[in-house]
Amino acid sequence: MTTDAWVNETLYPQWGQRFAIKRELARVQSDFQDIMIFESFTHGRVMLLDGVVQITERDEFVYQEMLTHVPLLAHGACRRVLIIGAGDGGVLRRVLQHRTIERAVMVEIDGEVIRLAKEFLPGIAGDAWSDPRADVIVGDGIDYVRRAEPASFDAIIVDSTDPIGVGEVLFTDEFYENAARILSEGGLIVNQCGVPFMQADELRETSERRARHFPHVGAYVAAVTPYVGGFMTLGFAAKQADLHAVPAATIAARAQEAGIAGLTEYWTPDIHVAAFHLPPYIARHLPR
C-alpha cells in the first residue's frame, strides 16, 4: 500500500525524526508492544516498537557490530554467549560469525518481533536462526537470568528497548546481580545505555547500578543514525580489569582467529579502541 504518509518518532516530546513511508508492511499490537515495519525511501525497511525506531536495514550494521564484536574480542576467549532481546536477530548473526563461539542463547520476550523480523527483515539475521549453536527462547530476560546456572556464560549482550515498559526490568539491580552470578570468572556484560545528549540519566543510573555488581564499569560509543542525538552509548561492565584497554594489534589478531576480519562495515580494531575514549559530556556520567 503506497502512502504519502509520514512516521514521526515519539521518543522525545519536543524533538524527533520522521520518515516518509514508501509502503507499510506490518502493524501488529502484540501482548507487549505496538510493532510497525515499513519500507522507507532512505533507510530501507524500518522497525518501530511503541513509536520508537529500533532498527533500519540500511544502517543496522553499526549498532549490531559494535554491540557484538567489541565485548567478544575484548574478552578474547568467549565460548558461551547470552543475548537478551535483539528480536531482529542481528546480534545473533554477528555472534555466530565468531567461529570460536560454541553456544549462543537468545531470550526475546516478544515472539511477534521474531516472527515479523523473519518475514519482513530476513537479511538482518540471515540463516542464524537455523545455526546448530543457536538456542532461541521466547521469554522474559529477567526470568532467564534468575534461573540460569552460575558461571554458565562468558558474555551477556543486552539489546533491549529503553528502560520503560517491558525493557525496564533489564536495567535493575536484580538483573545485574543475576548477570554477575551467571557470568564466568572473566565475564562481561554490555547493554544499550541510550544517547547521552538526550538520555544522560539512563547512562548514569545504569552505570551506578552496574557498579554495585561489577568491579569494572564503563561505556563506549557508536554513531547510530536512527538513534538521534549524537553518540549512542553501550554500557560495558566486566569482572576483570582493563578489558576496555586491549591494544588494537591484539584485537586484530583475535578478529583474525575468530574469522570476522574483513566481514565488517563499521567495526575495526582502531574503531574498537577509539570507541572507549569518551568526550567529557559523556564520561562525567560514569562512576569515577
Catalytic residue positions? 159
Nearer to ligand SAM by Cβ, of 162 and 251: the residue is: 162
| Choice between 191 and 264, CB closer to ligand SAM | 191
107 makes contact with ligand SAM (CB under 6 A): yes
**Cα atoms in the Cβ-side hemisphere of radius 13 Å centred on 20:** 6
Q: How many residues bind ligand SAM (CB under 6 A)?
A: 26
By CB under 6 A, name the one of 108, 128, 179, 193 that touches ligand SAM: 108
Q: Which three cell numbers stand for residue 112?
A: 511477534
Pair 234, 191: CB distance under 8 Å: yes
Q: Of residues 159, 180, 231, 255, which one binds ligand SAM by CB under 6 A?
A: 159
Which of 36, 37, 86, 243 binds ligand SAM (CB under 6 A)? It is 86
87 binds ligand SAM (CB under 6 A): yes
**Pick 124 or 246: Cβ nearer ligand SAM:** 124
Q: How far is the CB of 150 from ligand SAM (least distance, A)?
A: 21
- C-beta of 269: minimal distance to ligand SAM in Å? 23
**Contact residues for ligand SAM, defined by CB under 6 A:** 32, 49, 54-55, 63, 84-88, 107-110, 113, 140-142, 159-161, 166-167, 169-170, 192
